[in-house]
Structure 1
Amino acid sequence: MQVITGCHPILIVVLSRRLALSAGVLATAGLIGGSAAQYVVAAPQVVASPAAACSGSANLAANSSVSRTLQVNGVERHFRVHLPSGYSRGSAAPLILAFHGRGEKAIWFERYTQLSRLPAIVAYPDGLRSSTGPRSWQSAPYANPKADDIAFTRAIIRKISSEACVDRSRIFAVGRSNGGGLVNLLACQLPGQFAGIAMVSGAFYPQSQRGCQHSRAVSRIEFHGTEDRIVPYDGAYKFGSNLPAVPAYLDRWTVRSGCQQPLERKIASNVTRIDWFVCRPLGTMVSHVRIDGGTHRWPGSTRSDWRPSDRVNAAALIWQFFQLQRPGLIVGS
Structure 2
Amino acid sequence: MLSSTLLQTLAVCLAGMLSAASASPCAAKSSDGCGKPLPAGQTRGGVASVNITSGSLERSFLVFVPPTYKPGHPTQVILSYHGGTKTALQQLQLDNLTSPEFNTQSMVVYPQGINDSWQGVPGVTINDVQFTADLLDHLQGQYCIDKQRIMATGKSDGAGFCNVLACDASLSTRIAAFAPVSGAYYVDTLPCAPETVAIPCQNGRADIPMLAFHGGNDSVIAYLGGERKNACLPTVPHWIEAWAAREHLDAANHTSPVAADTVVYQYSRPGEPSLVNLVYDSVNGHDWPSTLPNADNQNAGQAPTSFNATPMILDFFAKHPLTQLV
TM over 0.5: yes
Structure 2 counterpart of 1:318, from 308, 313, 316: 313
- Give the Cα–Cα distance (whole angstroms) in 2 for the partners of residues 323 and 268 of structure 1: 22
Question: Per the alignment, in what secondary structure is the counterpart of residue 321 of structure 1?
Answer: helix
> Following superposition of structure 1 onto structure 2, how do residues 191-230 of structure 1 map, counting pairs within 5 Å?
191-206=172-187, 212-213=201-202, 215-217=204-206, 218-230=208-220
Q: By how many angstroms is 1:106 displaced?
A: 0.2
Question: Per the alignment, in what secondary structure is the counterpart of residue 54 of structure 1?
Answer: coil
User: Structure 2 regions of 5+ residues with no counterpart?
Assistant: 1-24, 190-197
Tell me the equivalent position of 2:276: 286
Tell me the equivalent position of 2:108: 122
Tell me the equivalent position of 2:233: 243
Paired AA for residue 307 in structure 2: V
Determine if contact 1:297/1:308 at 8 Å carries over to the other structure.
no
1:154-190 CA-to-partner distances (Å, cap 9, x unmatched) read: 1111111122110001101111111111111111212
Q: By how many angstroms is 1:230 displaced?
A: 0.6
Q: By how many angstroms is 1:263 displaced?
A: 2.2
- Give the Cα–Cα distance (whole angstroms) in 2 for the partners of residues 90 and 248 of structure 1: 44
> Following superposition of structure 1 onto structure 2, how do residues 161-180 of structure 1 map, counting pairs within 5 Å?
161-180=140-159
Paired AA for residue 324 in structure 1: K
> Following superposition of structure 1 onto structure 2, how do residues 39-78 of structure 1 map, counting pairs within 5 Å?
53-59=34-40, 60-78=42-60
Q: By how many angstroms is 1:250 displaced?
A: 0.9
Q: By how many angstroms is 1:213 displaced?
A: 4.6
Q: By how many angstroms is 1:83 displaced?
A: 0.9
Question: Per the alignment, in what secondary structure is the counterpart of residue 63 of structure 2?
Answer: strand
Question: Per the alignment, in what secondary structure is the counterpart of residue 61 of structure 1?
Answer: coil
Normalised TM-score (structure 1): 0.76
Q: Please, which moves more after superposition, 69-78 or 166-175?
A: 69-78
Q: By how many angstroms is 1:238 displaced?
A: 0.7
Paired AA for residue 117 in structure 2: S
Percent of matched pairs sharing the same residue: 27
Determine if contact 1:50/1:91 at 8 Å carries over to the other structure.
no
Normalised TM-score (structure 2): 0.77
Tell me the equivalent position of 2:14: none
**Relative to 1, partners in 2 of residues 1:241 and 1:211: Cα closer, same or farther, differing over 3 Å?**
closer
Q: By how many angstroms is 1:214 displaced?
A: 5.7
1:47-96 CA-to-partner distances (Å, cap 9, x unmatched) read: xx966653243433211110011121121111100011211112111011
- Give the Cα–Cα distance (whole angstroms) in 2 for the partners of residues 326 and 125 of structure 1: 21
Tell me the equivalent position of 2:223: 233
**Relative to 1, partners in 2 of residues 1:200 and 1:62: Cα closer, same or farther, differing over 3 Å?**
same
**Relative to 1, partners in 2 of residues 1:207 and 1:124: Cα closer, same or farther, differing over 3 Å?**
farther
Tell me the equivalent position of 2:67: 85
- Give the Cα–Cα distance (whole angstroms) in 2 for the partners of residues 54 and 277 of structure 1: 39
1:273-331 CA-to-partner distances (Å, cap 9, x unmatched) read: 1222438xx77710110011110011116345166643211111111111110356x8x
Tell me the equivalent position of 1:43: none
**Relative to 1, partners in 2 of residues 1:182 and 1:54: Cα closer, same or farther, differing over 3 Å?**
same
Tell me the equivalent position of 1:40: none
- Give the Cα–Cα distance (whole angstroms) in 2 for the partners of residues 98 and 214 of structure 1: 20
> Following superposition of structure 1 onto structure 2, how do residues 77-116 of structure 1 map, counting pairs within 5 Å?
77-116=59-98
Determine if contact 1:225/1:308 at 8 Å carries over to the other structure.
no
User: Structure 1 regions of 5+ residues with no counterpart?
Assistant: 1-48, 130-134
RMSD: 2.5
Tell me the equivalent position of 2:17: none
Question: Per the alignment, in what secondary structure is the counterpart of residue 252 of structure 1?
Answer: helix
- Give the Cα–Cα distance (whole angstroms) in 1 for the partners of residues 127 and 35 of structure 2: 29
Question: Per the alignment, in what secondary structure is the counterpart of residue 167 of structure 2?
Answer: helix
1:14-60 CA-to-partner distances (Å, cap 9, x unmatched) read: xxxxxxxxxxxxxxxxxxxxxxxxxxxxxxxxxxx966653243433
Q: By how many angstroms is 1:210 displaced?
A: 8.2
- Give the Cα–Cα distance (whole angstroms) in 2 for the partners of residues 67 and 240 of structure 1: 35
Q: By how many angstroms is 1:215 displaced?
A: 4.2
Structure 2 counterpart of 1:274, from 265, 268, 273: 265
- Give the Cα–Cα distance (whole angstroms) in 2 for the partners of residues 121 and 89 of structure 1: 12
Question: Per the alignment, in what secondary structure is the counterpart of residue 171 of structure 1?
Answer: strand
Paired AA for residue 231 in structure 1: I
**Relative to 1, partners in 2 of residues 1:179 and 1:199: Cα closer, same or farther, differing over 3 Å?**
same
- Give the Cα–Cα distance (whole angstroms) in 1 for the partners of residues 49 and 273 of structure 2: 35
Structure with higher Rg: it is 2
